[in-house]
Amino acid sequence: MITSKLTSKAQTTIPQSVRAALGVREGDELVYEISGDRVVLSKRQPSAKDDPFRTFEEWDSEADRRAYAHL
């Protein structure tokens, strides 16, 4: 069993073996799923909504490609 302590600010360090098993590193987001008295921790998988360039899809039409082809 792997354990960690909770600080007075309700923070904990995720043990290295757990980080390795999840494949997480600095900046990754985690998901907590609560089921009764248990919590499942997993790495958040990026979705298409996370793509910062998806907002430019509205300018990606054939007419736009023709209009801006010379630039």
Q: Give the mean pLDDT of 35-40.
A: 96
Q: Give the Cα separation of 33 and 49 in Å (integer).
A: 21
How much is the mean pLDDT over the chain?
88
The predicted structure's pLDDT at residue 45:
85
Of 13-17, 28-32, 50-54, which gets the smallest average pLDDT?
Answer: 50-54
Question: What sign for the dihedral angle of Cα 46, 26, 12, 7?
Answer: negative
When pLDDT is cut at 50, 70 and 90, the band that residue 30 belongs to is very high
The predicted structure's pLDDT at residue 48:
66
pLDDT at 71 over 90: no
> Which spans in the chain are helix H?
16-22, 62-67
